[in-house]
Amino acid sequence: MCEALPCGGIEDGVISVKTYNCDIVIVGAGPGGSMAAKFCAQAGLDTILIEKKAEVGAPLRCAEGVSKSWLSEVGIEPDRSWIAADMVGAVIKSPAGHEFRMDGRKTGEEIGYVLERHLFDKALARDAADAGAKIMMRTGCTGVIREGGKLVGIKANSMGEPIEIRAKCVVAADGYESQVARWAGVKTVPKMGDINSCIQYRMTNIDVEQEWCEFILGNDIAPGGYLWIFPKGNRSANVGIGIRGDRCNVPAAAKYYLDKWIAEDDRLNKGQILEVASGMVSTCPGLDSAIYDNLVLVGDAARIIDPITGGGICHACRTGMYAGKVLAECNEKNDFSKEALKPYERMWRNRMDDKIVRNWMAKEKMNSIEDKQMDEIIDILSDYDLKQLDVFGILKAIKDKFPDLVEEFADLI
Amino acid sequence: MAIIVDFGKCLHCGGCVGSCPQNAIYMNDYILEFNDNCNSCKRCVKLCPVAALRME
């Protein structure tokens, strides 16, 4: 059992760092970390969740758009407190301005929410705490501890003091930074073409449709990425952009292209900015393995994210939940080896891997398309009777109308 | 050659941390530190969304 108070101090004149002992230590209190903490603690595991920042869920590093369908899958009940706006549809705009509208009211589909991430993340962390997880704020991991080659815990800096947290298994939920796994010897850095550099303004006093998420494409608008407008109610919205890493060819490329668009968009250029957020997102398939002896990677840290949209909240929540469930089983046998953790790898791959690989190939193809062809595709899709309002539905329509474009991964569509 | 951080521009997003092939950058909330593993590849300079990094 974890001691409420750490041990350590001065013994025989040698200063030792404070040491905490627990079953599972989780690095990062984003959605993935909090879900893992909740499911570990619920199963009776002594769980410590550490968060480097001074506030869970802030500062923002996210466009805050989510679809609705997965929430019930991970046991999250929608709560008005963390929903900023309810979307009826999504509109994709081509470089020349052609529009393709995906209207949920026509198909009876629930589209999605735009969240208040700072409240959503806190709600999940609260669930973890309610289940019995201990949360340590302003506690950043600085390395891993190995003894005889075996991973036995992490080093951290907690409120300015060095500490050690010893655990049977470490969960790396440290998001895009993904340093915990690297300290443990796992390569997690994507290649430049599989990174999007992003910036976002929360704008107000703007004239955008308040129930539609907008995605704007174009090689001169958002090279190798897209520009988004996700409404947040009260004439405000997250207006952001992602630029493919190997196409960041001007200084501050993300900011340059976003500012350029806003200046020319009459709906936006009289608006004011309430918040500036930046960040990066991986757009590669998941790592070859998200499990190692005494180490599990969840969410962005494992590069488990949708490579075409850059959306990763649902992936983080699912992988966090799977990790918690599998760790509880491992604890029964007191075996946290890579072999024992295999059910986790199977669970996330069965649920998501094909889609992630398919969307990565679709992203690569999309990034190679000239503006003129993108105009043509969006134009034709706008008259298409889409059966399913998501990336899969769009890819099926493209397979029907432009089979050559997707022939390399047609078997995944 | 060393990476210089303009903290007036930096938004502390940690994007450079996750993109560094050498794992040479550490961010503790508001401080970015570069260690000796930096091999001046300039990936972070190119990717930074707000041009807060430069090499001198």
Q: Identify whether residues A267 and A335 lie together within a single domain.
A: no
Asked if the structure places residue A123 within a domain, the reply is yes
Coil, strand, or helix at residue A267?
Answer: coil
Q: Residue A386: its pLDDT value, please? A: 84
The structure tokens listed for A256 are 């340059």
Q: Identify whether residues A230 and A297 lie together within a single domain.
A: no
Average pLDDT over residues A241-267: 98
Could you report the per-residue pLDDT of A37-55, keeping only the tens digit for each?
999 999 999 999 999 999 9
Asked if the structure places residue A166 within a domain, the reply is yes
CATH architecture of B3-55: 2-Layer Sandwich (3.30)
Three-class DSSP labels, A372-409: HHHHHHHHHHCCCCCCCCCHHHHHHHHHHHCHHHHHHH
Asked if the structure places residue A246 within a domain, the reply is yes
- Strand A236-244 versus strand A169-172 pairing type: unpaired
Contact A195 B46 (CB under 8 A): no
Q: Residue A154: its pLDDT value, please? A: 98
Domain boundaries, chain B: 3-55
Contact residues on chain A for B43, CB-CB shorter than 8 A:
192, 245
Q: Residue A152: its pLDDT value, please? A: 98
Contact residues on chain B for A275, CB-CB shorter than 8 A:
none
Cα(A319)–Cα(A36) distance, rounded to whole angstroms?
Answer: 8
Higher pLDDT, residue A253 or A387: A253
One-letter identity of residue A104: G
Q: Identify whether residues A83 and A139 lie together within a single domain.
A: no
Range with the poorest average pLDDT among A126-140, A193-207, A383-397 = A383-397
Number of domains in chain A: 2
- Look up residue A294 and give its DSSP letter: T
Contact residues on chain A for B33, CB-CB shorter than 8 A:
none
Q: Residue A12: its pLDDT value, please? A: 59
Q: Identify whether residues A29 and A74 lie together within a single domain.
A: no
Asked if the structure places residue A392 within a domain, the reply is no
Cα(A95)–Cα(A244) distance, rounded to whole angstroms?
Answer: 17
**Omega cis (within 30) before A59:** yes
Q: A59 near B12, Cβ under 8 Å?
A: yes
Average pLDDT over residues A244-271: 98
Q: Residue A11: its pLDDT value, please? A: 56
Contact residues on chain B for A248, CB-CB shorter than 8 A:
46-47
Q: What is the overall mean pLDDT for chain A? A: 94
Average pLDDT over residues B31-36: 92
Q: Identify whether residues A101 and A212 lie together within a single domain.
A: yes
Q: Residue A4: its pLDDT value, please? A: 41
Q: Residue A5: its pLDDT value, please? A: 45
Q: A280 near B44, Cβ under 8 Å?
A: no
Average pLDDT over residues A212-231: 98
Residue A303 has pLDDT above 60, yes or no: yes
- Look up residue A64 and give its DSSP letter: -
Q: Identify whether residues A167 and A235 lie together within a single domain.
A: no
Asked if the structure places residue A404 within a domain, the reply is no
* A67 alpha carbon, distance to own chain's centre: 13
Contact A280 B46 (CB under 8 A): no
Q: End-to-end distance of chain A based on CA atoms, in angstroms?
A: 49
Q: A382 near A98, Cβ under 8 Å?
A: yes
CATH of the domain at A110: 3.30.9.10
Residue A15 has pLDDT above 70, yes or no: no
> Could you give phi then psi for residue A273, rounded to 5 degrees?
-100, 130
Cα(A5)–Cα(A48) distance, rounded to whole angstroms?
Answer: 13
Residue A8 has pLDDT above 90, yes or no: no
Contact A253 B17 (CB under 8 A): no
Q: What is the ipTM of this complex?
A: 0.97
Q: Residue A56: its pLDDT value, please? A: 98
Q: Residue A3: its pLDDT value, please? A: 43
Q: CA of B49, closest CA in chain A: separation in Å?
A: 5
Q: Identify whether residues A140 and A200 lie together within a single domain.
A: no
CATH of the domain at A299: 3.50.50.60
Q: Identify whether residues A23 and A39 lie together within a single domain.
A: yes
Q: Identify whether residues A183 and A197 lie together within a single domain.
A: no
Contact B13 A61 (CB under 8 A): yes
Q: Identify whether residues A111 and A127 lie together within a single domain.
A: no
Higher pLDDT, residue A381 or A125: A125
Asked if the structure places residue A69 within a domain, the reply is yes
Q: Residue B29: its pLDDT value, please? A: 75
Interface subset of B 12-51, CB within 8 angstroms of A: 12-15, 17-21, 23, 26-29, 43, 46-51
Asked if the structure places residue A47 within a domain, the reply is yes
Cα(A50)–Cα(A140) distance, rounded to whole angstroms?
Answer: 7
Asked if the structure places residue A272 within a domain, the reply is yes
Contact B14 A175 (CB under 8 A): yes
**Is the Cα torsion angle A390, A360, A411, A352 positive or negative in sign?**
negative
pLDDT band of A28, cuts 50, 70, 90: very high
Q: Residue A16: its pLDDT value, please? A: 78
Q: Identify whether residues A95 and A212 lie together within a single domain.
A: yes
A248 to chain B, any CB pair closer than 8 A? The answer is yes
Could you list the residue range(s) of the whole structural domain that residue A213 is in?
Answer: 65-115+191-282
Buried b or exposed e, range A171-187, using 16+ CB within 10 angstroms: bbbbbbbbbbbbbbebe
Could you report the per-residue pLDDT of A50-93, keeping only the tens digit for each?
999 999 999 999 999 999 999 999 999 999 999 999 999 999 99
Q: Residue A387: its pLDDT value, please? A: 81
- The closest alpha carbon to A214, from A83, A109, A88, A305, belongs to A88
The structure tokens listed for B8 are 């007036």
The structure tokens listed for A17 are 């760092």
Rounded (to 5) percent helix, strand, coil in chain B: 20, 25, 55
Q: Identify whether residues A33 and A132 lie together within a single domain.
A: yes
